[in-house]
Amino acid sequence: MTDAPAITVQPEPDHQPPPRGDQKKEVSRSLWADGWRELRSKPLFWVSMVIVLAVSSMAVLPGLWASGDPAQCLLARGSQGPSSQHPFGYTFQGCDMWAAIVHGTSKSLAVALLATTLLTVFGMLVGTLAGYFPGIVDTLLSRFTDIFFGLPFLLGAVVFLAVVPVRNVWTIAAVIAILGWTTIARVMRGSVLATKNKDFVEAARALGASNARVILRHILPNAMAPIIVLATIYLGIYVGVEATLTYLGVGFQRPNTTWGLLIAEGQPYALQGSAHLLIFPCAFLVLTVLAFIMLGDLLRDAFDPRGR
């Protein structure tokens, strides 16, 4: 008998979540709900999301997109132009261009994702500490940031990678992260300084919250928006940076397949007239970078109130 009321009560929470979610949105729209509402209405957001998802799925499941084997090459059909069966033509080695492009996605995206994650975490850590602990900690960390900021990005990356004997996803991402974390640290420091003296932080401290709790529960959530925007843009930029480093000969090398390698190899043949060797990998690279940067810009418009 005691079970009966429990059973009748049980279904209710199951049905509740959807209406509760809607109510919340109308009663007090948080910054996030507000931003999401704005994002949803923009067609460009959906366009860039589709590109990002398509490219990501190419990276994870290349077999889904291209049935051809990128390593199956016939020199006899090298540099053959597009045909109805192979709309992207063949690379100069006679591999299927479409398969090469699809299989070339994963390395670039892996580098970008790994580098962005590393530098975001490290930059946030340095920035938070510098902003939260004024005085000697702030001075030391800020000068430390300046030292890395003083190294021009591409020059530094070329020097680092020139001395790294093994160039793989990990080393390339690490080099990018070592050189790239400074902006996140500076933005983070600024956000922490701005929120640190707000009343709600004072209140939390008065209630006896520890430094760790104040930082994690009160300061970080308020500083997240610009960091997410920057990280999204970085994903795109670092896809381009990886291709650049590979083009310069300090990134990936054969037998890997990446867009940067395809472009570097296609360049001399394109000068002689095989334009497709250059156009297709360039188009994919630019489109991917563009999608991430547009997404970042739209996120900024939606979530970063100062950018409005």
| Binding stretches for other proteins (CB under 8 A) | 143-144, 146-148, 150-156, 158-160, 162-165, 236, 240-241, 243-244, 247-250, 263, 267, 270-271, 275, 278, 282, 285-286, 289-290, 293-294, 297
Residues 184 and 131: beta-carbon distance below 8 Å: no
DSSP structure string for 159-228 = HHHHH-S--SHHHHHHHHHHHH-HHHHHHHHHHHHHHHTSHHHHHHHHTT--HHHIIIIIIHHHHHHHHH
Q: Residue 127 or residue 236: which is nearer to other proteins going by CB?
A: 236
Q: Which is nearer to other proteins, 223 or 295 (CB)?
A: 295
Q: Is the dihedral of CA 239, 245, 246, 252 positive or negative?
A: negative
Q: Shortest Cβ distance from residue 22 to other proteins (Å)?
A: 33
Least separation in angstroms between residue 71's CB and other proteins is 25
Q: Which is nearer to other proteins, 21 or 307 (CB)?
A: 307
Q: Which is nearer to other proteins, 15 or 143 (CB)?
A: 143
As a whole number of angstroms, the distance between CA 104 and CA 281 comes to: 9
Query: At closest approach, how far in Å is the CB of 217 from other proteins?
Result: 30
Residue positions counted in the chain: 308
Residue carrying the six token digits 């510098």: 130
Please choose, from the candidates 16, 35, 12, the residue with its C-alpha nearest in 3D space to the C-alpha of residue 25: 35
Q: Kindly state the smallest distance separating residue 127's Cβ from other proteins, in Å.
A: 18
Exposure b/e, 15-26, CB count within 10 A at least 16 = b: eeeeeeeeeeee
Q: Which is nearer to other proteins, 25 or 142 (CB)?
A: 142
Least distance from other proteins to the Cβ atom of residue 161, Å = 8
